[in-house]
Structure 1
Amino acid sequence: MYYKTQIGIIITVTIGCLVALFLFFQNKQTDQNSPIKKHTIVSLTYRTNRGSSVQINQNGKNYFIRISFDANKMYKVGSEIGLRYNEKFDYFYIPDGQKRDSGRLIFLGIIFILSVVPWKRITQ
């Protein structure tokens, strides 16, 4: 009914969907319970379009927060950035209304639907 590679794709996409669901609900709970606090930027890292980050220091510990390259251009060392803190998993993130997490879920959902279609039966 399925090609061998299609079964591997289904398993991989299913794992990706489970991880995306975990991240979605993890950040959803934090968005509801955690206020946005201002933190001072210690350093900026400019990389490719997908890998820029800012560094903050909180309670003697350094945290790196990934942001887009364009957003990184808006900040300078010493300026403040509004962040939420996830206490359970000990990380900071920029609140974006879960746009990234919901986009990831939609993308993986579409791939999952396409992968479970029995292409072997359709093409015969």
Structure 2
Amino acid sequence: LPLTTNHREQTMEIMRIAKINAINFAQKKYKIKTFVSGIRKDEHEARSKETYFSKRSTHTRVHPILDFTIDDVWEYIKTYNVPYVSLYDQGYKSLGEKPFTKPVKNKNASERAGREATKEKTMERLRSLGYW
């Protein structure tokens, strides 16, 4: 059954809280000063403003592939035989939470076309709360 708008919003909020709270908890418990992530500037408008070293009040985020394109990522994967999730072979272009990620039929669609539109619209706010 499709999720109702209200249920969908509640589920997104629960997932947001679970991710952000888990990251914040681990950061405090283990006194993590640096996080390394695989975000890229071209993935989403909210990420386009990032820098390689992003200082936060409690930690620094390092984004080593920030200027990679999706083609650069796949070139690296193929060149160095890096394992990847087989869902990409089934039409998924970007992976997220299961209820909010779908395969994309149009190969020319944007990389995040299979992602939940509501979440995409709130990415800037989520990032300010600790979401990657």
Say which structure is richer in strand. 1
- Greater relative contact order (CA < 8 Å, ≥ 6 in sequence): 1
TM more than 0.5: no
Under a length normalisation based on structure 1, what TM-score does the superposition of the two structures give? 0.32
